[in-house]
Structure 1
Amino acid sequence: MIMPKMSVGFAMILLVAGNMIAVLSDALIKELPDGAAVYQFVLLRQLTAVLMLLPFCLFNQKAKLLSNVKWHFVRGHIWLFGAVFMVLSIQALPLATVNAIFYTAPLLMLPLGFLFYKDRLTAPSIIVAILGFIGILVVVKPTQINMGAIFALIVALTMATNNLLVRKLPSNHTVAQTLFLTNLVGIPLGLGLAIWENAPLSWYALWIAAGSNLFILIYAGICVLVYRAVEAHKISSAEYTGLLGAVVIGIIWFDEIPDISLLIGSALIVLPLIWLATLESIKYKRTAL
């Protein structure tokens, strides 16, 4: 299908809006009460995501949905593992802090890409990785590292791994089918963990799960729309505005006032990534000439 052309400015506005919406998903998760049944909540997210995505999968029958699901199975269980720690980290840390750590996923993709695929590590990418990890230390402060920060780093690691494993997925599966399978294949283990947890069903957690999934799916849909219409190197820097959104929503919703270390550390994480994206954009333009 040929996608309509879209201006770079409008595409970036859509991406900024999408990232603000994605932060709302985290904010809803933070609304879970202390002691909430984590495994049950993750299972509810899987189930509601599958129900939301099923119509989009049924409307598109070009690809056999359940064919070649090996790597979907791997990614789905990595996602399940990361989702558990995502809930724990969001509950333990301020919204802006946890999102700053989540943004280290692109940094982790650099060494992982080298290990998995022998991707070339350039001098700029190494500099960006070093500055980013310094930024992590500034944000979480080595003397104040707690389990929440460790959990958030585990989430970033699972995000980076899943992003890299996208290369292994069947090319004929749509984005909706990929998201559907990611959630579907992990349901048996998620159900087993929820049964082992043995917590009474929480209807409040169900609504939180459905709401957070809805926000994430809107964000994913916006990404599909803009990245099909505009080259990624022109607009990807807009993704990092989600951290600003986390700061704003944290202040308004949870009365979380960021300190100077969060601002400095976030700058060390995000600004080098924008610089690297700019270098890649320049390189792309030169090779295209």
Structure 2
Amino acid sequence: MPKITVGLAMTLLIIGNIIGVFSDALIKTLPADTAIYQFVLFRQLTAVLILLPFCLFSNKQSLLAGLKWHFIRGHIWLLGAIFMVFALGALPLATVNAIFYTAPLLMLPLAMILFQEKLTSHSIAAAVLGFIGVLIVVKPTQINWAAIAALVVALTMAVNNLLVRKLPQHHNVFQTLMLTNLVGIPAALGLALWEGKPWNWTPMLTATGSNTFILIYAGICVMVYRAIEASKISSAEYTGLLGAVVVGVLWFDEIPDLSLAIGSSLIIIPLIWLAKVEAKIKQTSKII
């Protein structure tokens, strides 16, 4: 596999975020009376089943190494999955995705605190403009419990992406994703039993489809954030917002308003600018 550069990492994140939108869209199609904890359990189970064949042919050296960090990430992932279902059931797809994309903003201070990463003036400027764009999209006066749930999802995404560095380097993407889901199954099962609703296996197909898309996104995150500092590439996560707008219009008839257009511009334009700046810096360093 070729070395992952900043440009390649940002490209992969753009593709991953667009794919991830379809995972959200499938969750949004769930009936209002769906047993949420059952559905989350189905997602955990189908993820393990999807990933297991890939793991069987992977290097099995010290598979349980770093289990503590897998355990922590797995339960953070589970928490995010639960709040994601709540948020998507109550908010328009583009709005909830706009809140999800505060994750790159949250990653910048977290990376500085946890890993002493240095923030460049370019990444700070892009993050500030992006954050303003998110506020315009969300409209702070309309924030409710569903918006807070989406913000919790963003926080879990940010923490999980940064904790990738704590995982053993010899674990490949498939092993990492399988362990993340596997360790959370007991807790998910406990929540489903506590929920006390009759078992309904109909959402299993939706869980499988949603999982397939989100696992592709998560795999890309594991790969790129392990290779590149978060502050250099996290702004690329914003591009999924455009995908959410398009899918929201075509699938759910959610017509965007002017504030969404303005906010999205403040998110995407700094992203394009940051990519050009990083490319120029890289080119200059090669010349030197």
Name the residue aligned to 1:102: 100
**Aligned CA distance change for structure 1 residues 67 and 237 (closer, same or farther; 3 Å):** closer
Displacement of 1:215 in angstroms is 2.0
Task: Report the residue type matching 2:137 in the other structure.
Answer: V
**Aligned CA distance change for structure 1 residues 18 and 137 (closer, same or farther; 3 Å):** closer
CA deviations on 1:123-176 (whole Å, 9 max, x unpaired) are: 223222322222222111121111221111111111111111111110000000
**Aligned CA distance change for structure 1 residues 23 and 150 (closer, same or farther; 3 Å):** same
**Aligned CA distance change for structure 1 residues 283 and 11 (closer, same or farther; 3 Å):** closer
Q: Determine the C-alpha separation between the residues in 1 that align with 2:213 and 2:49.
A: 15
Task: Report the residue type matching 1:101 in the other structure.
Answer: I
Matches within 5 A, 1:257-272: 257-272=255-270
Is 1:130 the counterpart of 2:128? The answer is: yes
- Equivalent residues, number: 283
Displacement of 1:210 in angstroms is 0.8
Task: Report the residue type matching 1:142 in the other structure.
Answer: P
CA contact (8 A) 1:233 1:280 kept: no
Is 1:53 the counterpart of 2:51? The answer is: yes
Q: Determine the C-alpha separation between the residues in 2 that align with 1:4 and 1:126.
A: 29
Name the residue aligned to 1:67: 65
The DSSP-based 3-state class of the residue aligned with 2:203 is helix
Q: Determine the C-alpha separation between the residues in 2 that align with 1:237 and 1:127.
A: 11
**Aligned CA distance change for structure 1 residues 195 and 17 (closer, same or farther; 3 Å):** same
Q: Determine the C-alpha separation between the residues in 2 that align with 1:245 and 1:155.
A: 18
Is 1:217 the counterpart of 2:207? The answer is: no
Is 1:29 the counterpart of 2:56? The answer is: no
Q: Determine the C-alpha separation between the residues in 2 that align with 1:183 and 1:95.
A: 25
Displacement of 1:19 in angstroms is 4.1
Q: Determine the C-alpha separation between the residues in 2 that align with 1:79 and 1:139.
A: 25
CA contact (8 A) 1:138 1:262 kept: yes
Task: Report the residue type matching 1:85 in the other structure.
Answer: F
Q: Determine the C-alpha separation between the residues in 2 that align with 1:247 and 1:131.
A: 19
Greater shift, 201-210 or 276-285, is seen at: 276-285
CA contact (8 A) 1:233 1:278 kept: no
Name the residue aligned to 2:155: 157
Q: Where do 5+ consecutive residues of structure 1 fail to align?
A: none
Q: TM-score, normalised by structure 2?
A: 0.86
Task: Report the residue type matching 1:63 in the other structure.
Answer: Q
Q: Which of 137, 142, 145 lines up with 1:147 in the alignment?
A: 145
Q: Determine the C-alpha separation between the residues in 1 that align with 2:143 and 2:27.
A: 22
Is 1:280 the counterpart of 2:278? The answer is: yes
- Please report the RMSD computed on the Cα atoms of aligned residues, expressed in angstroms: 3.1
Q: Determine the C-alpha separation between the residues in 1 that align with 2:186 and 2:267.
A: 37
CA contact (8 A) 2:137 2:260 kept: yes
**Aligned CA distance change for structure 1 residues 74 and 90 (closer, same or farther; 3 Å):** same
Q: TM-score, normalised by structure 1?
A: 0.86
Displacement of 1:14 in angstroms is 7.9
Q: Determine the C-alpha separation between the residues in 2 that align with 1:125 and 1:190.
A: 37
Matches within 5 A, 1:147-186: 147-186=145-184
CA deviations on 1:97-144 (whole Å, 9 max, x unpaired) are: 111221221111111111111211232232223222222221111211
Q: Share of identical aligned residues, percent?
A: 68
Q: Determine the C-alpha separation between the residues in 2 that align with 1:151 and 1:160.
A: 14
Displacement of 1:227 in angstroms is 10
**Aligned CA distance change for structure 1 residues 149 and 109 (closer, same or farther; 3 Å):** same
CA contact (8 A) 1:102 1:153 kept: yes
Greater shift, 146-155 or 18-27, is seen at: 18-27
Q: Where do 5+ consecutive residues of structure 2 fail to align?
A: none
